[in-house]
């Protein structure tokens, strides 16, 4: 089965090249650094340290507190971060700087992955969530390099898909050194697919361990002052997808009739869509500026388009309430705990299956407001803006959910320590 999988992946390579080139029309980064995707990374990384893979922005953001703590505990060990997307790359580099080195994870071809591992020679590999590559897992196993799946989750749908491949899946999953699962349900699905019960621990979700650094707080205070936001209310629509901006801008236009000083920060999920959002905002006859231009919003500015990378937590910090995108369309939603860390109200659409358990916790605590269209979005925001107690309590409830569920990071670090304990000396 592994041979068939590898042959199919070789067959896909020309299609992958075309796809990368086409995506490069909107984001030039997709046409760059192709050598890294085939394991050519000599001179770009330091060997014999920790290799951590986070596929894209969401996983990278979740991994940042873990990476910082690993760097603090094991300062002599180099840390290499791999992602698959340019946005994940940008976030890793902008957030962690010289603390890490970054390259793209190469495609899961045996020769390519061998070349990559020959350069990296990691003492430990950590993969965030459920990014499982058969050749990579097999090669790590044969090289006796421990592999930890951190913050592991496995949906019922994904489990059924893995189950189709029967003994192949079982043999593959048995080669994983340790799975740190988000929930009991996730752990049971991994065990049913072949992970040994002794090799799996429920740690909870690392997403609850998001923290606000003093540096971020200082930046937020400065930005609020520069933008003169003490005189006006701000709401943010974050990580939005195609089909959502139209609804958001319609809602904002309606809100402006009642709250003429209201400012919207519109932060699309994907950089390649920034230019189309500019056009869409113009079509709604709204006065806007782009964050990337470094402009300061004037009293007449109605929308700031958040077209920068690595600044989402800063933009949450200067907002009074937040809509979290990917939820008005069937994408599954993005992380609602990021605005919860800032103690601000959270609004989402009905499609939150990517964060099903987290959203359930928030709903039980009256910390998540569900909307379905422009009218319900504008009505709920108006209610929050006119009722100070409602707004403050909603944000406080969200922050309390975050605070009560922290601890996964501490638990995970204890599990990691035996594989790196010799580095304490």
Q: What's the longest Cα–Cα distance across the chain?
A: 65
Are 295 and 287 within 8 A, CB to CB?
Answer: no
Are 51 and 106 within 8 A, CB to CB?
Answer: no
Are 379 and 369 within 8 A, CB to CB?
Answer: no
The structure tokens listed for 129 are 């969530």
The distance in angstroms from the start CA to the end CA of the chain is 43
Q: For the chain, what's the residue count? A: 425
Backbone angles phi, psi at 393, to 5 degrees: -65, -40
The structure tokens listed for 415 are 């599990």
131 is catalytic: no
DSSP H or E stretch at residue 83: strand 79-83
Instruction: Say which residues have a Cβ less than 8 Å from residue 274's Cβ, sequence separation at least 6.
Output: 268, 290, 305, 307
Collapse the DSSP code of 401 into the 3-class scheme (helix H, G, I; strand E, B; otherwise coil) and give the result. Answer: helix
Q: Give, in degrees to the nearest 5, the angle at Cα 256 between 255 and 257.
A: 90
SS (H, E, C) 382-403: HHHHHCHHHHHHHHHHHHHHHH
Collapse the DSSP code of 327 into the 3-class scheme (helix H, G, I; strand E, B; otherwise coil) and give the result. Answer: coil
Are 8 and 108 within 8 A, CB to CB?
Answer: no
Are 387 and 173 within 8 A, CB to CB?
Answer: no
Collapse the DSSP code of 176 into the 3-class scheme (helix H, G, I; strand E, B; otherwise coil) and give the result. Answer: coil
Among 36, 59, 244, 338, the one annotated catalytic? 59
Per-residue DSSP letters for 228-249? TGGGS-EEEEEEE-TTTHHHHH
Beta strands in 94-218 (DSSP E): 101-104, 124-128, 147-152, 178-181, 200-202
The structure tokens listed for 171 are 């043999």
The structure tokens listed for 380 are 């709920």
Instruction: Report how far residue 290's alpha carbon sits from residue 265's, in angstroms, rounded to the nearest whole number.
Output: 10
Catalytically annotated residues: 59
């Amino acid at each position: 089965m592994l041979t068939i999988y590898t042959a199919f992946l070789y067959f896909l390579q020309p299609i992958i090249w075309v796809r990368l080139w086409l995506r490069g029309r909107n984001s030039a980064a997709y046409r760059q650094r192709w050598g890294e995707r085939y394991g050519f990374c000599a001179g770009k990384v330091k060997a014999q340290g920790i290799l951590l893979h986070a596929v894209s922005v969401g996983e990278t953001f979740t991994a940042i507190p873990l990476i910082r703590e690993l760097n603090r505990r094991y300062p002599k060990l180099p840390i290499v971060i791999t992602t698959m997307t340019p946005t994940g790359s940008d976030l890793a580099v902008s957030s962690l700087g010289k603390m890490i080195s970054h390259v793209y994870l190469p495609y899961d071809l045996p020769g390519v992955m061998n070349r990559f591992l020959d350069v990296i020679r990691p003492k430990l590999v950590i993969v965030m969530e459920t990014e499982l590559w058969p050749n990579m897992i097999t090669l790590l196993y044969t090289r006796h390099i421990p592999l930890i799946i951190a913050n592991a989750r496995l949906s019922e749908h994904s489990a059924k898909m893995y189950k189709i491949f029967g003994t192949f899946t079982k043999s593959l999953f048995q080669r994983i050194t340790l799975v740190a699962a988000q929930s009991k349900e996730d752990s049971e699905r991994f065990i049913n697919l072949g992970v040994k019960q002794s090799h799996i621990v429920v740690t909870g979700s690392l997403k609850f361990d998001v923290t606000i650094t003093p540096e971020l707080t200082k930046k937020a205070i400065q930005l609020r002052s520069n933008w003169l936001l003490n005189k006006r209310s701000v709401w943010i629509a974050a990580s939005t997808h195609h089909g959502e901006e139209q609804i958001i801008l319609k809602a904002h236009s309606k809100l402006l009739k009642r709250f003429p000083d209201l400012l919207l920060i519109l932060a699309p999920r994907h950089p390649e869509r920034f230019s189309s959002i500019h056009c869409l905002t113009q079509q709604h006859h709204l006065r806007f500026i782009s964050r990337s231009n470094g402009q300061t919003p004037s009293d007449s500015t109605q929308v700031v388009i958040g077209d920068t990378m690595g600044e989402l937590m800063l933009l949450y910090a200067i907002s009074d309430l937040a809509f979290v995108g990917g939820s008005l369309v069937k994408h599954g939603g993005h992380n609602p705990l990021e605005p919860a860390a800032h103690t601000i109200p959270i609004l989402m659409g009905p499609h939150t299956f990517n964060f099903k358990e987290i959203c359930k916790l928030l709903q039980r605590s009256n910390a998540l407001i569900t909307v379905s269209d422009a009218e319900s979005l504008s009505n709920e925001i108006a209610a929050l803006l006119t009722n100070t107690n409602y707004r403050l309590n909603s944000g406080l409830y969200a922050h309390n959910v975050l605070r009560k569920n922290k601890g996964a990071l501490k638990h995970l670090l204890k599990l990691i320590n035996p594989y790196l304990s010799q580095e304490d000396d």
